[in-house]
Amino acid sequence: MLHPIFEEASNVIKEEYPNENQVVFARVDCDQHSDIAQRYRISKYPTLKLFRNGMMMKREYRGQRSVKALADYIRQQKSDPVQELHDLAEITTLDRSKRNIIGYFAQKDSEEYRVFERVASILHDDCAFLAAFGTVSKPERYSGDNIIYKPPGHSAPDIVYLGSMTNFDGTYNWIQDKCVPLVREITFENGEELTEEGLPFLILFHMKEDTESLEIFQNEVARQLISEKGTINFLHADCDKFRHPLLHIQKTPADCPVIAIDSFRHMYVFGDFRDVLIPGKLKQFVSDLHSGKLHREFHHGPDPTDIAPGQEVQDVASSPPESSFQKLAPSEYRYTLLRDRDEL
């Protein structure tokens, strides 16, 4: 059903971008090329993925499946990802709720800017990219071309990139680290794409105005769990918006802040929030998920190794709440075929 729409959209775009290297529409038979499907974690069909400079973008196309919508999406992707500054005074009007990356260059036709523009084309959904050139940028180029990161808010200081600006990998890794935070916010808009990453969630539920608990959580994740990056997603959620998952674990917004793990099978609640400050406590919680201890203890009570000497061992059967965020996974009705994945 999608194939003729996809093909017609490719013809429309080919007329607008006749150079064959500008936009490529391609299709993969995932039964015939299962290695490609596995490499890119394709589990539902048809799936539309965007690649830039050989890299798969984490946000797949989720818009309307029509010729116009697909063509509009490509036009939007082809728009300039970098906003040019014509006066440094424009910096004072930046939206400081966003993460801003600003490059100062002697000239636009330079390898430094080409690398910057290439990185911006990949990460423009996560950061706002701006650039100034020539005489406009000169006051900020006292030591040569440079890139700075302006964190959200007005109090945090700027951070300067100290690596080689002609090295794509170094520049990309530095900017990605600034644009994609270790602890991300989960919303109903991005919930599906986060579940598709296939990693369990460690979530802080907090009131929107409670920035102190969020800062504590962010600091402890960075301190205790940086080595777990890639095995679990670190997230925070608005207690008011996510009342249903809270009720699932017998909590309400009045109980926030609350930390929980959703393994996509069950949800497990961390102890008292302030315990997150105890060295190693949060790390042990995540380790107990990976070892299966959380699952065992919810079904059978504490492990024998956790029982005090002389204390009678009781097999207390219980059932942890089922996953709540699994419901944000792709709808089986939206795709022709949705294949199950093994989950924790």
Q: Which of 179, 195, 215 is the last residue of a domain?
A: 179
Q: How many CB atoms lie within 10 A of CB 15?
A: 8
Question: Is residue 315 a contact partner of residue 234, using CB atoms and an 8 Å limit?
Answer: no
Shared domain check, 209 and 304: yes
Q: How many residues does the chain have?
A: 344
* Sign of the CA dihedral running 233, 239, 242, 245: positive
Q: What is residue 316's predicted lDDT score, i.e. its pLDDT? A: 42
Shared domain check, 101 and 232: no
The per-residue pLDDT for range 183-242, each reduced to its tens digit, is 999 988 888 878 877 789 999 999 999 999 999 999 999 999 988 988 899 999 999 999
Q: What is residue 66's predicted lDDT score, i.e. its pLDDT? A: 92
> DSSP secondary-structure letter at 266?
B
What is the spatial distance between Cα 182 and Cα 225, in angstroms, rounded to a whole number? 10
Q: Which domain holds residue 312?
A: 184-337
The per-residue pLDDT for range 38-83, each reduced to its tens digit, is 888 787 889 899 998 788 887 788 888 999 999 999 998 888 899 9
Shared domain check, 67 and 39: yes
Shared domain check, 192 and 57: no
Shared domain check, 106 and 19: no
Shared domain check, 331 and 272: yes
Q: Which of 78, 106, 126 is the last residue of a domain?
A: 78
The per-residue pLDDT for range 131-145, each reduced to its tens digit, is 999 999 999 998 899
- Count of domains observed in the chain: 3
Shared domain check, 146 and 171: yes
Shared domain check, 57 and 110: no
Shared domain check, 175 and 191: no
pLDDT classification of 152: cutoffs 50, 70, 90: confident
Judged against a pLDDT cut of 50, whether residue 91 lies above it is answered with yes
CATH of the domain at 26: 3.40.30.10
